[in-house]
Chain A
Amino acid sequence: MSSMKKDWWKWLGVFILTLVILIGLLVPLNPGITNVSPSNATSGTTISVSANGYNTFFTSAKNIRAWLKLAGDHALAAKSQEIISDNEIIFTFDLPSYLPVDQLYAETALVIDSDIDGAFVRPFALSINQKEVNVELGEQAWSSDKITDLSQTNHFRYPFRNILVETIRNTYFHVPLWFGMILLFLGSTIHSIQFLRKPNELSDQKAVGFVSTGVLFGILGLVTGAIWAKFTWGAFWSWDVKQNMSAICMLIYAAYFVLRQSMTDQDRRARVSAVYNLFAFMAMIPLLFVIPRLTESLHPGNGGNPALGGEDLDNTMRMIFYPAIIGWTLLGVWMAQLKWRTMRIESRLRE
């Protein structure tokens, strides 16, 4: 029973992770539009636009409305609609002769509003060409329809993003691994500092345990990232700056183990590897946080953007993302503890 009490954090970690996996996988995405065809149209014609919905329920909706939306307040409502299935619908638009822009073409977004699914948008759905420019007539034609009274739905759902779609759930599995890794390395660094202040075998063993699970998390972060990248960016390895820096970071910590192997004297090994561990942690910080911000990256939160802000992580996702970090970190600490306890027994046996 007492061990049960002392190990509460392990059970907490497992509990959180179970919830994260279940809720992370079972909560559906918001409805969205995966495909719109055709993607080109000419002004002054009547066009039928077919839209493929994702997680939509067109057949059971009582009221569906659709607009083509231009920049500014310009919109054009659909004239009629034909529901093919829950996931397919065809809208007919009477395109006016002129566009409200002084160019020969304009990109429009398709906005669909249904009383069951709520409102959702496909940006750059249809590009419209015109033969000549007449902004005034275009303004008139595109101003009569207004996008108003959008349906509000209050479901607990994850956001729909075009290329990501369901892979947005990887936010709970790929991203927390990195946060967990940094926290584990931080734990290891703290134990190394403790060792340097007051040399003792346990601090050294704890530092090794934390580094080994940190490296495991880092490798898993690289692997899960590569899988995710393959299906969203097109390649397992895109030589993205954050990918490169994370790989280098793994090399820095792999060198920690090489360094330990190269020394036979116990005291010296513990001291030198504690010094290197501190050095490695400090070298890792600019690698992961400073350099990626300087260059272009495919990752969100680089090139001057705030990390994980606004569009990339909405409030619903935060509710699962932050516990996920805690859960994965607790699991990592548990695994680190198993490692150092084994090392402790090993060194006792050697004596």
Chain B
Amino acid sequence: MTKIIVLLKDIVDLNEIKIDPSTRQPRTEGLKRRISDVDKRALEAAIRLKEKNDGEIAALSMGSDKTRTAMLEALAIGADSLYIVNDSGLAGVDALVTSKVLKAAVEKIGGYDLILCGEMTLDSLSAQVGPRLAELLGLPQVTYVKQMDLEDGKLRAVRDLEDVDEVVEVELPAVVSVVREINEARIPSLMSIMRAKKKPTEEWDASALGLSAEEMRAGSSIEVVKLEAPLVERKRIVIEAETVEEAAAKLADAIISEGVMEA
């Protein structure tokens, strides 16, 4: 039986983010939080492996008080159990610390064959936690996976790189990160959402993992100084006309007058 730990992060709905026009800062308070899309596909990939090979899936997330609600979806889609690291002392730590905390959590869960995650979460786009965790655990990493299967205790995967598709094989345990192209995550049924609430869920703070939140926080190395939407200075001219031909003619004139067509 294969035991898979899937790393998931709840993030704000990116399409709901509004930029404050005066400060150019993103408004994220009060927005609904969901599982980051690529992470959800990592979970879907785990479920498909389980369906073929039998197994057990533990979802693991480092988050906040809001994480439990967002992660219900993971249990509804098909995770068997849920582990949440929730410690306000760890809020805002960087990928370096996050991966150390996740290492401790993964070791506490124990007995895993495979750790799955998304290539990156869509809020931070930092693409570090998978490789960092592999380094800390001394495991091989298989990144950017768009297809995978288990055969005789080995993982066979196709990696999606810029210039090649790389077919690889690795013995388990390993850390695997997936790209968006791997699958389309299933939508949970109402019944499975009901059942999700009954699945085992554990919540840990830093001390439950044998860590000091204060020390971990002090180890954080990257600080965010400012978040600001880039200034968009566009003319925003909407061309209106009686007919399509007229509108097209006006647009053609505008394009030519910009002088952007000279080689």
A interacts with B = no
